[in-house]
Structure 1
Amino acid sequence: MGHAYRWQPLDGIGLEHLNLDYRDDLIVADGVVVGDCGDAPFGCSYRICCDTAWRVRSVEVHAAGGASLVLTSDGSGHWRDGDGAVQPQLGGCTDVDIAATPFTNTLPVRRLGAVLQARTRIAVVYIPVPALAARRMEQAYTRLADGRYLYEGPIGDFQAELELDADGLVRHYPSLFTRLLPA
């Protein structure tokens, strides 16, 4: 069963369209984002595949006219690039954070569930757009109330109180994104 979502940035011009498909043994997120990064426009597409426990198993990101990134994971924090080479610098990261999309905030919220009643630090594979130079980043999530989470990332540098729907997808991300579809 698939679902469609759209977000727009609150500052600048852009749009994201995401198809989220729940299969028997896999959750597949296919997204396309166009927007501004500093003074330059960008476009990218991404695909994230998770197992049914919301552990990322693969991520592909392609910047229009530029870089591409392919990573696979065993779901327990061990990563390889598209050629199969081990990526030790990403060790211990379970989730991914693609800078251009609020969707990737859904991954730790769904994966961790009730654990987020207390502030929970995690390590993620952070992917800036359009450079796609993956690196490890420390973040934290805390459930504040139904549909409200405090996001911190990188720790000590940024905070936002996210408004999520019952499925864990961002409705509103202060100063960055708001959801258009479904409203």
Structure 2
Amino acid sequence: MSGTVICRMHWRALDREGEDSCTLTQLTGGWMLVGHAQFHHSHGWAALDYVVRCGPDWTTTSADITGNHGDTRVALRLVRSGAAWQLNGVVQPQVAGATDIDLGFTPATNLMPLRRLPDIGRLPCRAAWLRDPSGTVEPLDQVYTRQRGHVVQYRAEQTGYSTQFRVNEHGFVTQYPGHWENCHAP
């Protein structure tokens, strides 16, 4: 599958040892994020590859996550068809209606709602949230509000988490206070 590379990102974790790199590619009929995250967590090191596919409207169509999370091998495939989601072929009714995937271990997946966010305004959306690579997804209702230029207010309803982050011209988070900071592209 060929396409045009739009942007490469590289972040370092601020809340633990770790880093994440990804590439955004424009394809015929949509978009694709391909990335690799490695980080230290309570059970050791994780090394995860991810591929997220989006339609031309920036809604997620599928995601694949593979690698290791401590001693556990990870091989997950999430697919959205209409309002329904499947995880490794099993319907996930708790996330029905979600338009995005939120991979909790990377800032890369904030890109999709940020690309749909108006220049000034608010975007409420629901994500199928993979909090960690354990293989369970939960609903995560999010609100993105662009206050000015490259500054976006973010709130996650289920957790009550709120922050303000900076984004670049492509829509990627560049500063995620306390969690991630953009480095130069690899």
The whole-number CA distance in structure 1 between the counterparts of 2:38 and 2:44 is: 11
Partner of 1:79: 85
Q: CA RMSD in A?
A: 2.0
Aligned mates of 2:67, 2:130 — CA distance in 1? 11
Alignment of 1:3-152 (within 5 A): 3-38=7-42, 40-64=44-68, 65-74=72-81, 76-83=82-89, 85-110=90-115, 112-114=116-118, 117-118=121-122, 120-152=123-155
Q: Distance in 2 between matches of 1:68 and 1:154?
A: 28
Contact 2:60/2:101 (<8 A) preserved:
yes
Decide whether aligned partners of structure 1 residues 86 and 11 sit closer, same or farther in structure 2, where only a CA change above 3 A counts. Answer: closer
- Alpha-carbon distance, 1:113 to partner: 2.5
Gaps of at least 5 residues in structure 1 are none
More strand by share: 2
Q: Deviations over 1:7-33 (max 9, x none)?
A: 110122111111211112121111110
Q: Is the 8 A contact 1:98 1:104 kept in 2?
A: yes
Residue by residue over 1:94-136, the C-alpha shift from the partner in whole angstroms, topping out at 9 and shown as x without a partner, is 01110111111111111x3328603x33211010223131111
CA distance in 2, matches of 1:95, 1:69: 16
Deviation by residue 1:17-59 (Cα, 9 ceiling, x = unmatched)? 1121111212111111000224632121111000111110101
How far apart, CA to CA, are the structure 2 residues paired with 1:70 and 1:21? 20
Structure 1 CA distance for aligned equivalents of residues 156 and 120 of structure 2: 15
- The percent of aligned pairs where both chains have the same amino acid is 21
TM-score, normalization by structure 2: 0.87
Do 1:63 and 1:129's aligned partners in 2 also have CA atoms closer than 8 Å?
no
Checking the alignment, whether the CA contact within 8 Å between 1:42 and 1:130 is kept in structure 2 is no
CA contact (8 A) 1:93 1:136 kept: yes
Q: Which ranges of structure 2 fall in alignment gaps of 5 or more residues?
A: none
Indicate the SS of the match to 1:67. strand
CA distance in 2, matches of 1:116, 1:58: 28
CA distance in 1, matches of 2:22, 2:10: 6
Cα distance in 2 for residues equivalent to 1:66 and 1:135: 21
